[in-house]
Amino acid sequence: MAVHVIGGPASTALAERISRELGNVPFAIPFSKRFPDGELYVRIGGRMNGEDVVLVQSSRTDEDLVQLLLLEDAIREAGAKRLVVVVPYFAYARQDRRFYPGEPVSARALTRHLELDADAVVTVDLHSALTLEGFTKPVTEASGIPAIARLLRERPVDLLVSPDKGGVDRIKRLAELLDKPWMALEKKRIDSDHVELTLPAAHAGEIEGKQVVIVDDVISTGGTIVEAAKLLRKSRARAVLAACTHGLFLRDAFERIKAVTDELFSTDTLLNPAEKASVAPDIAQILRKMVPTLE
């Protein structure tokens, strides 16, 4: 029975890499356009009767989300037997609870609709585990850390740094894979654009002369990485690299980070100028376990 990988407009290159990792299974790019009134239109080629289909589409923008829902429906219309939806970057995940009366739980609203036509969902480094609770279909969360580790094996890195305590599990996992020491900075968020970072006293003196890499799950405004890089340079690091799973790089974040780091890279969950590490092997490994025809 055939397996098809379909690369939505937000994730075409990653989808192609996944199809290669799966042994060059058929790969297709849907046609997409806007009608004069602004509505989106998509079309996939041909029938998929009884096939297993893997649709890959990050949901960074509202446009990506609508395309994702339309593609899911098109794949079902084409007769697919099983549909696994891979959403490498899952938008709206930060609103994973109701903070004030009258608000939606946005992450849950999205999971409900996204899983309607899906038999299973794969995503990468969610903002919080709460989002997973919103799914009723099988969902697997891949990690961007193995991809970052593969790239860092080619760099002379002495010390791994998480910019906050929230990243401790991730940095520990990376430290195990690379067999390197790690530490976490202390972060206080002032507002959505500003953060204050401090080096815990226990780690004073551990930075001097070291090649350090700051690792975060998301780079958004860049405020966290810029402040972390400045702090590490002030502590006399020899080189400062920055890595993340999801590189949103809002406004001038990319240029601001490049100005204070020796190298900046992200995985390929989102299209950006820093994507150097691919999560395709990790997603392919999950898909092989999920889709019997791929085994």
Cβ contact 66:33 at 8 Å: no
The angle that helices 168-178 and 145-152 make with each other, rounded to 10 degrees, is: 40
Residue 229 CA to residue 163 CA, distance in Å, equals 9
Cβ contact 120:84 at 8 Å: yes
Q: C-alpha angle with apex 158: 155 to 161, nearest 5 degrees?
A: 100
Minimum distance from CB of 135 to ligand R5P (Å)?
21
Minimum distance from CB of 233 to ligand R5P (Å)?
17
CA atoms within 13 A of residue 138's CA, in its CB half-sphere: 10
For ligand R5P, the closer CB: 61 or 293: 61
Rg over CA atoms, the chain: 20
For ligand R5P, the closer CB: 224 or 278: 224
For ligand R5P, the closer CB: 107 or 195: 195
For ligand R5P, the closer CB: 71 or 215: 215
For ligand R5P, the closer CB: 75 or 148: 148
Positions annotated as catalytic residues are 187
* Beta strand ranges found along the chain (DSSP E): 3-7, 27-28, 31-34, 40-43, 52-56, 82-87, 120-124, 139-142, 159-162, 182-184, 186-191, 194-198, 211-219, 239-247, 263-267, 275-277
Minimum distance from CB of 143 to ligand R5P (Å)?
14
Minimum distance from CB of 24 to ligand R5P (Å)?
36
Residue 125 CA to residue 118 CA, distance in Å, equals 20
How far lies 45's CA from each of 23, 57, 135, in Å? 21, 17, 29
For ligand R5P, the closer CB: 224 or 266: 224
Indicate the pairing of strand 182-184 with strand 186-191. Answer: unpaired
Minimum distance from CB of 232 to ligand R5P (Å)?
15
Minimum distance from CB of 198 to ligand R5P (Å)?
15
Q: Which residues bind ligand R5P (CB under 6 A)?
A: 163-164, 166-167, 195, 216-224
Query: Which tokens in the block code for residue 279?
Result: 């999560």
